[in-house]
Every structure is written in structure tokens, then in C-alpha cells.
Amino acid sequence: MLQVNLKQHGRTDLSEEQRLLNGAQEPTKYDDDFFTCQERTLEGDCETFYTVTKQPSNKWNTKENVMNVTKTINFEKCRQRPDIRYNKRFGEQCNTCDRKFANEEKTTESSTVARFNITGTPESFVIESAVVESQYIFTPVNEQMNVVATYVNQTLVLVKSGPIVTRVQEPSNPIPSDSQMIYTPDWDIAKERFFMDGDHEFLASSPYGDVKNKVEMVEQILRRLVRFMADEQQGVEEEAPRQLARLVKVLRMCTEQELEKIHHDFFDRAEKIETEHHQKVKDILADAMALAGTKNTIKHLVEKTKERKVHPVKAAIALKALVNTRVVSEKQIEMVMELCKHQVSQRSPILRQSCYLTVGSMINALCADNEDKLAHEFKITTHSQKFCPLALKQKYVKVRAVCSFSFFFLLSFFFFLSLFSPFHCRVVRQVIDK
């Protein structure tokens, strides 16, 4: 979308007296060749610089001047950005990192420059051509280290212009928007709701309802994974992690019924997978369910662990992956807490320890202040709409006390065993280190 502010609305480079004057009376002359304004675009509400130069047109049949307008967005001075950032809560303070960027973009340098060739006046004009160049550079530590860069270039040229013959009808039921030009990630909001609350929240269809043949896709990925991990001498091939990431992505899209179908075809039965690889497939699926970190996959993993279809030790290892869950919800935490209190956890100290520690990390992700930026936060306007209100925090304080007591009990138990066995003494040291 082309957006140019030739009438110099919202200027920020004027004195207070000039701003009051312009607010009372609209200026009739726009002779400044450079000005600064606060402007809303798709990329946010940011400070924007305009440079305007005029020159005669190169067309023989017109005497109008051509305006060359250069528009630069300063992303380090923004009131709002439609950013989505997952797992930024694990970022630690780095005293040696480059402090070049602003607080909102500590590790990212963004820039957008648009150049317009315009014929006419600020009141009535035609954009003959436009070139937009954007670049986004991610620097985890500093510019001397590795960086990830994305470049976007767009060019539009006016072919012809003429009178309006047919008008485009306005939408009959337009969706109201409170973003005022800023991009609103509605699809990302629906996706996060699906991750947090499951497919029961979407009575009509889920965000991934149009993705067909998910079970067949899982079968193909599992076959590739087994092939890349079959050679014990060469070990795991470098293509295996990419296939595992694909598997996790597909599982995030699945409904509860599709997950049951996957479990029935590849976990309970070995008809579609070679018998010698069946146990490996079961281990992969358990890990992938936890890595997916959605309400549906967590529920599936918890239920199968309660039914002892997933071994307690394997479940304890898989639960650790929930620490990296992108979007945490109260429903997810409640399901993991049910597993912690279940008899299968009470009979397995390793599973109980892993379960309670996982609950603590998920509570921290949901309630603690962090640098994550989720899509559904764009719709939160009041404190009462926060996903972790005061009542929920008070409830989780009791849970943390239970977790601390459980972990203290486990340490005491291991310490008692260490009095009689050097092996258990090493185990105690490892637990304390972690």
C-alpha cells in the first residue's frame, strides 16, 4: 500500500507555537523540503522523515512539476509496532553486547525507505512510480558476529491513467479495526488461541482447517526420520533435525481427533512402520508432542502417560520440552498439574520432579514480566483482560509452594541414599548443579 503525507499532517519538528497555529488553521503552503512527522503505517506508529525536491517534468505536453519524495521510517522511535516475538523470555542481560539499538529493538535493526515520483500538487496528485526498500537485520550479540538479514524490494510504475469507469463496491459488513492502519495480526491471534485453548474454542473451523492430509504428512515425515536415524555407525544425519521441525509444525496444526488417529496408526500399531523401528517412532512422537506445546498435544501426552502407554521416564524427559512452549495458557498448566498429582507420578520420583519443575517454568512464562510479544496482546486494552490476573497469581503461589516442597523432598531422598552409595552421591551433585 502506497502512503505519502504531502500535506505534512502531524509534524513533530515544529515549535509549540507553530503546532498550535497549524492545529487552528490548516496550512495552505507546503514549501518545506524536509519535515518530520509521527505517522501510522502497516509497520507501526513511528517517526517518519520526508524529503521533497521539485523539478520540471520531462513530458513535453505538461508544465507541471514533478516531486521526488523520499520517505524514511525511524523504527527506533515508535509508539507501537506489530511485532510478534516468542521465547524472548529466555534472553539474559548481556553487558558486552552492542547497545546500538533502542530498547524495543535490542537485537534487530529495521529500516524502510520509500521513493515516490509524483506529479501534481499536495491537494491533487498522481504517483507515477514508487520504489520501497526494507531491510531487517537480526544481530544476536553484535555486528561482528553472525547476523541474519532479510531484504524486501518493491517497484510500482503507473502504466496509464484515465477517468473512473466502474467503482468498486464497499464491503457490506466491514470488520471494524482499532489499529488505524497498523497491521493487526488477526490470523496469528486465532493461531495462538488454537495453541492455548484447543480446537473446542473453534466451533466452526480451526485456523488450520484448510490443511488436509495431516496424518499422511506425519507418516511421510516419520519414514524420513527413521531413514535418517537408521545408521548406527554414521549416527543421526543432518537432515533429521529439519524433518523433526516439520513434524512438530504439523502436530501443532492437529486437532484432538487427528492426534488420536496418529497415535493409533503409529504408536499403538506397527503396521505402517517396520517392526524394528516401532520403538524409535514411539520415542520420536512423544518428544514431538511435547515440542509442539499446544493444548491438544499436551493433553494427548498427559493422557497417554496416565494410561502408561508412555513410559514414566520417557514422559519425564519429554516434559522438559514444555519449558520452551511458545504460548502458555492456564488450561495447559492445569493439565500438567493433573499429571503431577496422578498416581503414575506419585510412583515415579523422576516423573514427579520433572512434572512440578515444568509447571513452575510454565507459570513463570504465563505470569512473569518478560520480553515476549504475543499476537493476542494486541487485543488487550485493560488490565482486567490480562491472561494472568491477580486471582490466578494467588492461586499459583500455592502451586509454587507445593513444587518447592516436592523438590526439597526429592533432594532429601537423594541425599539419604548418597550416605550409602557413591553412585547416588554423583546423582545428588548432578541434581544440585541443574
Residue 149 lies in a domain: yes
Contact 356, 322 (CB under 8 A): no
Residue 410, domain member (yes or no): no
CB-CB contact of 95 with 85 (8 Å):
no
Look at residue 86 and tell me if it is in a domain. yes
Q: Give 96-142 pLDDT, tens digit per residue.
A: 555 444 455 567 788 899 999 888 877 888 888 999 999 988 876 66
Which domain, by its residues, includes 88? 16-157
Residue 258 sits in the same domain as residue 127: no
**Contact (Cβ atoms closer than 8 angstroms) between residue 56 and residue 24:** no
Residue appearing with cell numbers 504517483: 127
3-state SS, residue 159: coil
Q: Is residue 207 part of a domain?
A: yes
| Segments in 311-367 forming alpha helices (H) | 312-319, 330-341, 343-346, 349-367
Answer whether 156's CB lies under 8 Å from 54's CB.
Answer: no
**How many folded domains does the chain comprise?**
2
What end-to-end distance do the CA atoms of the chain give, in Å?
51
Residue 406 counted as domain residue: no
Q: Is residue 254 part of a domain?
A: yes
For the stretch 268-323, pLDDT in tens is: 776 777 777 888 888 899 999 999 999 999 999 999 999 999 999 999 999 999 98
For helices 214-228 and 278-292, give the axis angle rounded to 10 degrees.
120
Q: The CATH number of the domain where 308 resides is what? A: 1.25.10.20
> Which pTM value belongs to this model?
0.73
Do 237 and 108 share a structural domain?
A: no
Closest CA to 260 of 225, 293, 309, 227: 309
- Would you give the DSSP letter of residue 403? H
Per-residue pLDDT tens over the stretch 135-194: 988 876 666 667 888 999 999 998 887 887 888 787 776 666 656 677 777 788 888 888
User: Is residue 44 domain-shared with residue 125, that is, in the same domain?
Assistant: yes
